[in-house]
Amino acid sequence: MGSAEPARDDIFSPAGHICTDCISESTQQVLCEALKLAKETRWDSVRSPHIFMGLLAVPDPCVRSWGDRLGADLTRLLGQFQELFHQEEGDCEALLMLNREFLSDNVIRLLREAYARARDHHRSVVMPMDLLITLLTTTNSIVAECFERIGVTAAKLTELAVLAEQSARK
């Protein structure tokens, strides 16, 4: 980082927007896709499954590698999550923005923990794998619970994600 300004304390600006200096371009794409998917599935806020769907919709090489290690078709998995979290009675015209007030408490916590993870790994920006690994390791993760129902543990998902991330660094 050199003489760059020190890392921010929070991923959110005081106005509630996600600080674009704290996220990579690929993470920005994931969050924009999550926002779009929240609208498509008729939710009035962005929830953690939407972040996961965003990761699947615009997978970077690490997320793609995680999917390969899992033996999953990411496009098919995305479709399954869209179906699972679609609300018939919801509002597909709900106003949503990448701002704290339109994010669930879990997503706010997820973004902050992913930012802390990035900083722990000596990076100033959140990468998609920070989101994925944080999403899988968070307490009471609905995404991890969905996998547990089909016999894939959160520990196994996380292990594969960490291996994918490590192999990308080589």
Say if 6 falls within a structural domain. Answer: no
Q: What is the 3-state secondary structure of 48-92?
A: HHHHHHHHHHCCCHHHHHHHHHHCCCHHHHHHHHHHHCCCCCCCC
Nearest Cα neighbor of 102 from 54, 36, 55, 57 is 36
Say if 75 falls within a structural domain. Answer: yes
State how far the Cα of 2 lies from the Cα of 109, in Å rounded to an integer.
Answer: 29
State how far the Cα of 84 lies from the Cα of 146, in Å rounded to an integer.
Answer: 10
State how far the Cα of 150 lies from the Cα of 160, in Å rounded to an integer.
Answer: 17
- In total, how many domains does the chain have? 1
State how far the Cα of 166 lies from the Cα of 5, in Å rounded to an integer.
Answer: 27
Say if 146 falls within a structural domain. Answer: yes
Say if 33 falls within a structural domain. Answer: yes
The one-letter code for the residue type at 125 is V
Say if 77 falls within a structural domain. Answer: yes
Q: What is the pLDDT of residue 92?
A: 65
State how far the Cα of 104 lies from the Cα of 91, in Å rounded to an integer.
Answer: 16
State how far the Cα of 111 lies from the Cα of 126, in Å rounded to an integer.
Answer: 8
Q: What is the pLDDT of residue 7?
A: 57
State how far the Cα of 79 lies from the Cα of 130, in Å rounded to an integer.
Answer: 23
Say if 29 falls within a structural domain. Answer: yes
Both tokens of residue 134? 């944080």
Say if 10 falls within a structural domain. Answer: no
Which are the contacts of 68, defined by CB distance < 8 A and separation ≥ 6? 164
Tokens 């949503």 sit at which residue?
A: 96
Tens-level pLDDT at each residue, the chain (170 residues) = 443 444 578 999 999 999 999 999 999 999 999 999 999 999 989 999 999 999 999 999 999 999 999 999 999 999 999 999 988 887 767 778 888 999 999 999 999 999 999 999 999 999 999 999 999 999 889 999 999 998 999 999 999 999 999 988 76
Domain CATH number, residue 132: 1.10.1780.10
Say if 4 falls within a structural domain. Answer: no
For 101, the domain range is 20-169
